[in-house]
C-alpha cells in the first residue's frame, strides 16, 4: 500500500509530519473518501469569507489563513456553492473602518468570519444579517454562532512537554502579550499552567507579537535578562523563525546549545535552517468544516450552538535538542 493511501486511511507507520501533509494536501486538492450528500441541501448559492486586516499593515506573506481559504474553496466546489472573499479593515482598537460590498449589498446567503473579531463587530453582523454565520479561529462566546477552533491547550501542552522531555527546565515564551487574540492567549495561559504544574519558573515570558521582527527582538531581550533560558516556545511559527535568527546572531547553536519550538506549521517552517519543530494546525480542514457548519446551520436553524475543536499534531524536526545544562529535579 502506498504512503499516501496509508496516511489517508490512518494505516502503517507513516510519520506524523508526512501524515499531516498528505491529509491536508488531499483536502486542499479536493480528494476525499466522502461522497457528496444525496440528500436535499439548503439553497445556498453564494457564501462569503471575511478576513480581518489591520489598517496600514502589509499583507502577511506567510498567511496562516491561505490554507483555511483553500479548504473553504474546495468544500464550496463539492457543494456547487460560489464563494466571495473580502477583507475588513480595522483600526488599532479592532473596530471596522468600512463594510465590504458583499455585506452592504446583501450578495451572500452565509458568512464565514476568519480570525479575531471583537464581540461588538460580530454582534453588529448578527443584527444586520439574516443568514448563517460561522466563526473560524475566532471567538465570540456571547454570540450564538457556530465555530471551528484550534485545540490550543493540547497543542501548547504537547510543545512544552516535548521540551521538558528533552531536559529543558528554563523555558521562555514569546509571541504573546496581554491583548493577543484569544487563541494566542490560550497558548500563553496553557504554557503558564504547565510550568506551574512542574514547579518551574514562570518569569520567562517576553511580551511580543506574531512577527519575525518581534520574535527576533523578544528572543534577544529574554536571553539578555535571563541567560539561563535554554529553550523557547513561540506561540507562532513566524516569531519562532525570528528567534532562530536571534540565537544565531548571539552565537548559540540550535539545537545543540539552544532549542526553539513553534506553533501553526506554516509553509516556511520546514525549509528554514534548522527546520522548525512545531505544532501542526489542520488549517485546510478548518476551512472545510466551516462550510459544512454553514450548510448545517442553514438546514437546522434551531439546533444548539456548536463549537468544533480541531486537534493538533506535534511535528518533530531539527530545532529541538537535549538540554546540555544539568538541573536538579
pLDDT (tens place) for every residue of the chain, 329 residues total: 456 555 555 555 667 777 676 667 666 665 554 444 444 455 799 999 998 765 445 445 446 789 999 999 999 999 999 999 998 776 655 567 778 889 888 889 999 999 877 667 777 777 788 899 999 998 877 788 999 999 999 999 999 999 999 999 999 999 999 989 889 999 999 999 999 999 999 999 999 999 999 999 999 999 999 999 999 999 999 999 999 999 999 999 999 999 999 999 999 999 999 999 999 999 999 999 999 999 999 999 888 999 999 999 999 999 999 998 765 44
57: three-class secondary structure by DSSP: coil
- pLDDT of amino acid 17: 74
DSSP 277: B
Are 218 and 208 in contact, with CB atoms under 8 Å apart? yes
Kindly report the number of other CB atoms within 10 A of residue 92's CB atom: 8
Q: Which residues contact 318 (CB under 8 A, 6 or more apart)?
A: 255, 274, 275, 276, 277
Can you give the pLDDT at residue 33? 43
CA separation for the pair 228, 169 (Å, rounded)? 10
Q: CB count, 10 Å around CB of 174? A: 32
CATH for 3-30+39-149+282-310 is 3.40.50.2300
Q: What is the 3-state secondary structure (H, E, C) of 226-266?
A: CCCCCEEEECCHHHHHHHHHHHHHCCCCCCCCCEEECCECC
> How far is 200 from 228, CA to CA, in rounded Å?
13
Phi, psi at residue 52, to the nearest 5°? Answer: -75, 140
Give CA torsion, residues 199, 321, 152, 20, to 10 deg: -150
Confidence at residue 95, expressed as pLDDT on a 0 to 100 scale? 67
Instruction: Report if pTM > 0.75.
Output: yes
Domain ranges of the chain: 3-30+39-149+282-310, 152-280
Same topology, domains 3-30+39-149+282-310 and 152-280? Answer is: yes
Answer yes or no: CATH 3.40.50.2300 is held by domain 152-280: yes
What pLDDT score does 31 carry? 58
Are residues 308 and 147 in contact, defined by beta-carbon separation less than 8 angstroms?
yes
Amino acid at each position: 500500500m502506498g504512503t499516501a493511501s496509508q496516511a489517508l486511511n490512518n494505516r502503517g507507520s507513516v510519520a506524523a509530519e508526512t501524515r499531516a501533509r498528505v491529509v491536508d494536501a488531499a483536502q486542499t486538492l479536493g480528494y476525499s473518501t466522502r461522497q457528496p450528500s444525496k440528500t436535499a441541501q439548503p439553497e445556498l448559492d453564494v457564501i462569503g469569507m471575511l478576513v480581518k486586516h489591520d489598517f496600514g499593515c502589509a499583507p502577511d506573506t506567510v498567511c496562516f489563513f491561505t490554507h483555511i481559504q483553500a479548504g473553504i474553496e474546495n468544500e464550496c466546489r463539492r457543494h456547487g456553492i460560489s464563494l466571495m472573499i473580502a477583507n475588513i479593515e480595522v483600526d488599532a482598537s479592532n473596530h471596522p473602518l468600512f463594510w465590504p460590498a458583499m455585506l452592504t449589498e446583501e450578495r451572500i446567503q452565509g458568512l464565514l468570519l476568519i480570525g479575531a473579531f471583537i464581540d461588538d463587530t460580530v454582534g453588529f453582523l448578527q443584527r444586520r444579517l439574516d443568514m448563517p454565520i460561522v466563526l473560524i479561529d475566532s471567538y465570540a462566546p456571547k454570540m450564538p454562532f457556530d465555530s471551528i477552533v484550534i485545540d490550543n491547550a493540547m497543542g501548547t501542552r504537547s510543545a512544552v512537554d516535548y521540551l521538558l522531555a528533552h531536559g529543558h527546565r528554563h523555558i521562555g515564551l514569546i509571541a504573546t502579550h496581554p491583548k493577543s487574540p484569544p487563541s494566542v492567549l490560550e497558548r500563553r495561559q496553557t504554557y503558564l499552567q504547565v510550568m506551574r504544574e512542574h514547579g518551574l519558573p514562570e518569569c520567562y515570558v517576553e511580551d511580543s507579537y506574531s512577527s519575525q521582527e518581534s520574535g527576533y527582538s523578544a528572543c534577544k531581550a529574554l536571553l539578555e535578562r535571563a541567560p539561563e533560558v535554554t529553550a523557547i516556545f513561540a506561540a507562532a511559527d513566524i516569531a519562532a523563525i525570528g528567534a532562530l535568527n536571534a540565537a544565531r546572531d548571539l552565537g548559540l547553536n540550535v539545537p545543540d546549545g539552544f532549542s526553539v519550538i513553534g506553533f501553526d506549521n506554516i509553509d516556511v517552517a520546514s525549509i528554514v535552517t534548522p527546520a522548525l519543530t512545531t505544532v501542526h494546525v489542520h488549517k485546510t480542514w478548518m476551512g472545510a468544516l466551516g462550510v459544512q457548519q454553514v450548510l448545517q446551520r442553514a438546514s437546522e436553524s434551531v439546533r444548539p450552538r456548536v463549537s468544533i475543536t480541531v486537534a493538533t499534531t506535534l511535528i518533530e524536526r531539527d530545532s529541538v535538542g537535549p538540554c546540555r545544562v544539568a538541573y536538579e529535579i
